[in-house]
Structure 1
C-alpha cells in the first residue's frame, strides 16, 4: 500500500498555520457589512469561533464552515472518513445539524492514482451519510500535495447556539474525546504503526455530544482541533472574559500518547501551540510531557464544553479573570 502520509509535509490539523501567525494575518481585517444582506450575521470573525452563523428570514440560523488537510493516516478510506468527521465537527461545535457538504480535493494527478482519490471520497461520503448530511459535488485542483476536506452548511436554533464567547465563571469544563491524536498520528507517519483507537476517535462524530450539550442548556463550546486543548481553551476564556483552571490529572489520553511524547514524536504544530499560549499560562507543577499533550494538535478531536453532559469527564472549570488566563493544577 502506498503510504499517503509520505506525500505531505504536515499531517491533519497539525498542518494549520500557527495560531499566533494567523492572528497577525487577521489583525485589523473586518468583514464589510453588505448593504442588502439576506440575513443577520450572528457569529463572524471576532472571536475566532468554529463556524460562521447567519440568521435568515424564517428565524433559523445557517451555519457555514470549511476544513481540509493533508493525509493524517496512510489508509485513503480512513483519511476520507477522518477529514469528513473533522469538517462536520465545526457545525456540531456550534450546536447545529449538518445539511449538505461539498468536497474539496487537491490531488497530485501525476503521482498518485485516481483509485486512491476515489477511496478518499468514498470515506468522506460514508461519514457524511452517517451524519445525515447530503454530499453534492465540490471542487478539485491539481496540487503537489494531496489534500481533502469539505465545505459544510448546517442549520441551528439561533437561541440555542454553542459559542466560544458565552463562558461564565463557575462553569465546569467538559472534554468529550481523549487527547494524544497529534503525537500518535506523527508516530504513524514516521513508523507506519497503526493506532486503531486513534482512528476510531477521529472518525467518531460529535453529533451526540453536541445534541446532549444543547439539551442540557450549555451555551459555550468549541471543538479541540489544530490549536490543541490549551489553544482552544485560551480562545474560549479570552472571548468570554474569564480564566480557566485545568485539573491535569482529570484529562483523558489515548493509549500510547505519553509514550509517543517520550519517544520524541511531537508534531511541530503542537510545540508552536505551546509556545503561543505559554505567556498566558501558569503551568504549576505540570511537566513538559503534560504541557505538550495539553497543547497537542488534534485532528477531529472532541468538544470542549462550559457545562456538563453525561458520560464525559469534567477536566476543570472557568473562574473569574486572573493574571493567567490558563491555570494548570
Structure 2
C-alpha cells in the first residue's frame, strides 16, 4: 500500500448511527411476544439472548464498520475484538463467528487477506470457531463478525439491572476516538497510538470471566455511543449515578488532542442525545469530550455490589488493564447522571 493511499477515512464505532436515530426507529418495529426471548432490542442491550432449555441460552450479535487504523491486519483484529465484546458484555462465552465483508473489487486482495487474518486471530484467541461468512463488492471497506455464544439463562448480565449502592468499574481507558482523530490528522504521539491499538485489540473475555466470580448486577461495553450514553442505557429508568471524573482512566495525550479540537461528529451526537440528562459539576471541556467520545472495542462498564468492587478491580488490574472504579449507582433522581 503506498504512503498516499488512504485506507482509513474515519471509521470504527464512530460510523454508528446516532442514538437519537435508533430511539426513533426501533419503537416502530413489530415485536413478537416470545417467552424464550430473554433479551431483545427493548433495552438497548449489547446482544440478544434466546433460551433453548432451562440451562442453556444462545447469545447473538453482529458488528461491522469501516477502518479506523491504517494497518489492515490490525483493523481486522480490532473489528473482531469489537464484535466479540458484545458476547462478553452479556456474560456469555463465544462459540462461532461468521465474517461480514464489504470490499472494493479494484483493491489489492492482499489487503483483504490481512484483514481476515487479523480477525481470525482474535476469534481463535476467543476459543471460538470461524465458521464462514458473507462478502459483497462495495465502494468502501467494511468488516466485522456475526457471533453466537452460549450462557446459562440465570447468569445473563443485562442492562437496567443496576442496584443503588453498586460501584461502577470501567476496564479500559477512554479516548480511543480522540486518538484516532489525531492520528488521521498526523498529529499523534506514537505512545498514545500504540496504547489505543493495544486497548482496541484486547478482548473483553478476560475481564468478563472475572466479573462472573463476583456479585455483578449489570454490564455493557463502551463503544460508539461513548461512556455517558452507554451508562444511561445501563442505568435504565430506575437508577441514577455519580461519576468520579478524577478517577476516569484515559489515554495520556487526550487533553492535548482535545485542546486542538481533534474530536468527532459522533461525540457531538452523543452530547446532544444526553442533553438534560447529565450535569458536569466541574468546568472541563476535556472531560466532557472524553465522556462523550465514541470508543471502538472499548472496555466493559460493570455495575458491581459495593463489597465486591475492590476485589474485582484488583483482579482486573492484574490482567494489565488500567481499570478503575469510576462512579456509583444511586437511587433514581430527577437528574440522571452527575459528573463530579
Q: In the alignment, is the contact (CA less than 8 A) between 2:8 and 2:68 conserved in 1?
A: no
Describe the shift of the 1:228–1:293 C-alpha distance in structure 2 as closer, same or farther (beyond 3 A).
Answer: same
Cα distance between partner residues in 2 of 1:117 and 1:47: 35
The equivalent residue for 1:221 is: 219
1:27 aligns with 2:27: yes
> Is residue 326 of structure 2 the alignment partner of residue 315 of structure 1?
yes
Distance 2:222 2:133 in 1: 26
| 2:232–2:336 CA contact under 8 A, matched in 1 | yes
Quick check: 2:9–2:68 contact (8 Å CA) kept in 1? no
User: Which deviates more from structure 2 when the two are superposed, residues 274-283 or residues 165-174?
Assistant: 274-283
| CA drift at 1:27 | 2.3
Cα distance, 1:13–1:269 mapped onto 2, change above 3 Å: same
- TM superposition shift of 1:83: 0.3
**How many residue pairs end up in the alignment?**
323
Which position in structure 1 is the counterpart of 2:11?
11
- Gap change, CA 1:2 and 1:63, over 3 Å in 2: farther
2:90 corresponds to:
94
Bigger Cα displacement from structure 2, 273-282 vs 12-21: 273-282
For residue 29 of structure 1, report the CA deviation from its aligned partner. 2.2
What secondary structure is seen at the aligned counterpart in 2 of 1:99? strand
Runs of 4+ in 1 over 4 A off after TM superposition: 2-5
Q: Displacement, 1:240?
A: 5.1
Q: Deviations over 1:8-61 (max 9, x none)?
A: 654100110000111111123242236xxxx81100111010000011036211
| Secondary structure in 2 matching 1:215 | coil
In angstroms, what is the RMSD of aligned CA positions? 1.7
Unaligned runs of 5+ in 1: none
- Would the aligned equivalents of 2:62 and 2:83 in 1 still touch at CA under 8 Å? yes
TM-score by length of 1: 0.94
Structure 2 length as normaliser, TM-score? 0.91
Contact 1:96 1:154 in 2 (8 A): yes
1:65-107 residue CA offsets vs partner (Å, 9 max, x unmatched): 0000000100000000000000000000000010000000001
Which of 201, 204, 220 lines up with 2:202 in the alignment? 204
